[in-house]
Structure 1
Amino acid sequence: MSGVEVVVHIVDDEEAVRNSIAFLLTSAGFAVRTHQSATDFMREASSIRTGCLVTDLRMPDMTGVELLRRLRDAGTLLPAIVITGHGDVQMAVEAMKSGALDFIEKPFSDEVLIESIRRAVNTAQIKHGNEATIEATRQRLGTLSEREMQVLNGVVSGEPNKTIAFDLGISPRTVEVYRAGLMSKMQAKNLAELVRMILSIESYKGDD
C-alpha cells in the first residue's frame, strides 16, 4: 500500500470476531487495532487522523449506526464499513446514510472484506492528503501581512488592480508589488491556482 499508513480500527463486542478479522487484515498487510466496544473506540476517535473503521452493526452499548452518527456529530467520521447479519439490511442502509462507505452481510468471504477495506483505506489516504494540503495553505496564509490580505481579498473577488488600488488608497503599481509578494508567499504559480487555494479552504470550512 502506498501513501500514509492508515490504521484499520475494528469495533466488535465479540472477541473471537475481532481477533479473526484482525488476523485476516494483518496477514493482508494492513495496520490494525481492535476495540471491544463502540464506547471504547469513541474515547480515542478524536485523536485518529489516518484511520478507517470496521464496525459490527449490533452491539450492546450502541449500534454501528449510532456510532457513525456520533462520529459525524463530533466531526471525526472515518471511512467506515459496517458488518451486518441477515435481516439487518434496513439498518445497514441507515448506516450508509450516516456516512458508511459500505456494508457487508454475514457470512462474507475474506476477499470481499479485504477489497472493501482497500477502498476505505484509499479514501482515508486521499482525505489525509487533502487535509495536509489545506493545512499547508492555511499556514502560508498566516504569513501574509494585513495589506497583502487586503489585496488578496480583492484579487480573489475578481477585482482589477485599479479597483483594488482605489479601495485601499494606494497606487496600482503598489498593488502589483503586493500581489507579486503574496503569490510568492502562497507558492501559487498563477492566479487560477491562488483562487483554487482560497476556495479549497472555504470549502473545507463548509464541510466541517
Structure 2
Amino acid sequence: MKPTPLPLNLYVVDDDEAVRRSLGLLLLSRGHAVQAFASGEAFLAGADVQRPGCAILDLRLGGMSGLQVFEALRGQGSPLVVLFLSGHGDIPMAVEAVQHGAFGWLEKPCNDVRLLATIAQALDKSASIAAQLQARQAAQALWARLTPREMQVARLVAEGKPNKRIALDLAPLELRTVETHRAHVFAKLDLSNSHELERFLRENGI
C-alpha cells in the first residue's frame, strides 16, 4: 500500500497588494490553494516552512528582502521550493539565488502562461522532495523499531563486519546472539543483505 502523498503548500510573498491579488486569483482559477503574505517576516511566522511546497518570493520586499527570507529558509532546512519574482535590475541577484539553491526566477511583469508553467515545474520538484521526505520518515520509523543492541549490530553489519568480529567488538556478546540480532535487523527493516543495509542507513540519514 503506497503512502498518501503529502499535501503541497503554495505561497505568494509580495509587498505589492495588487501583485498578491492578481497572482492569488490566477492560481486559484487553476485549482491551486494559495496563501499570500505581505512581508517576509509574516511569511516566516505564519507559513508551515517544514512542509514541502512552493514559495513565490519577491526579491525586493519591505523589511526582510527576498534573499534574506530565502537564507532563513535554508537555515531552517526547509523543503520549500523557492521561485523568485524580480524586476529587471534584480536579475544578477536572482541568478545568484538560483546558484545557491533557489528553483528559478521570473522577471516582472511575467506572462501568465510562462508563470503557470514554471510554477507547475516547481510543484513537481516539490512533490519529488515530499516523496523523498515521506520515504525517509518511513525508514526512520522502521529503524526506531530496533532495540538499542540491534542498532549497534546493524551499524557493524553495514560496515561489512562478519558476525565473529561483531561479537568481539560488542563483547561480552555470544556469536549466536549476534546472529539472532542480525536476523531481526533484516526482518524488521525488510532488507536482504549488508549492502542493502548500508544503503538504507546512508540514504536515510541514520
- Structure 2-normalised TM-score? 0.88
Percent identity of paired positions between Structure 1 and Structure 2 = 37
Aligned residue type for 1:115: A
**Aligned 1:58-77 pairs, distance under 5 A:** 58-76=60-78
Q: Which moved more, 1:81-90 or 1:132-141?
A: 132-141
2:14 to 8, 12, 16: 12
2:40 to 38, 41, 58: 38
CA distance in 1 between counterparts of 2:153 and 2:50 reads: 37
Quote the offset at 1:10 in angstroms.
0.2
Q: Could you tell me whether the CA contact under 8 Å between 2:49 and 2:80 is conserved in 1?
A: no
2:100 maps to 1:113: no
Quote the offset at 1:77 in angstroms.
5.3
Post-superposition Cα deviations, 1:33-63, rounded to whole Å, max 9, x if no partner, equal: 1111111001034554132100111111122
Q: What SS class does the counterpart of residue 82 from structure 1 fall into?
A: strand
Pick closer, same or farther for the CA change 1:3–1:146 going to 2, 3 Å: closer
Q: Could you tell me whether the CA contact under 8 Å between 1:68 and 1:99 is conserved in 2?
A: no
Q: 2:88 maps to what in 1?
A: 86
Q: Could you tell me whether the CA contact under 8 Å between 2:49 and 2:73 is conserved in 1?
A: no
Where structure 2 has 5 or more consecutive residues not aligned to the other structure, the ranges are none
Q: 1:184 maps to what in 2?
A: 187
Q: Could you tell me whether the CA contact under 8 Å between 1:65 and 1:94 is conserved in 2?
A: no
CA distance in 2 between counterparts of 1:189 and 1:76 reads: 33
Q: Could you tell me whether the CA contact under 8 Å between 1:64 and 1:95 is conserved in 2?
A: no
CA distance in 2 between counterparts of 1:46 and 1:84 reads: 24
Q: Could you tell me whether the CA contact under 8 Å between 1:5 and 1:31 is conserved in 2?
A: no
CA distance in 1 between counterparts of 2:126 and 2:9 reads: 9
Q: Could you tell me whether the CA contact under 8 Å between 1:152 and 1:182 is conserved in 2?
A: yes
Pick closer, same or farther for the CA change 1:189–1:122 going to 2, 3 Å: farther
Post-superposition Cα deviations, 1:145-193, rounded to whole Å, max 9, x if no partner, equal: 2321221111011112222133234444432221111111112244333
CA distance in 2 between counterparts of 1:46 and 1:35 reads: 13
CA distance in 2 between counterparts of 1:115 and 1:17 reads: 18
Pick closer, same or farther for the CA change 1:61–1:6 going to 2, 3 Å: same
CA distance in 2 between counterparts of 1:148 and 1:124 reads: 35
Count residues with an aligned counterpart: 202
Q: What SS class does the counterpart of residue 204 from structure 2 fall into?
A: helix
CA distance in 2 between counterparts of 1:190 and 1:32 reads: 45
Where structure 1 has 5 or more consecutive residues not aligned to the other structure, the ranges are none
- Structure 1-normalised TM-score? 0.87
Q: 1:197 maps to what in 2?
A: 200
Q: 2:27 maps to what in 1?
A: 25
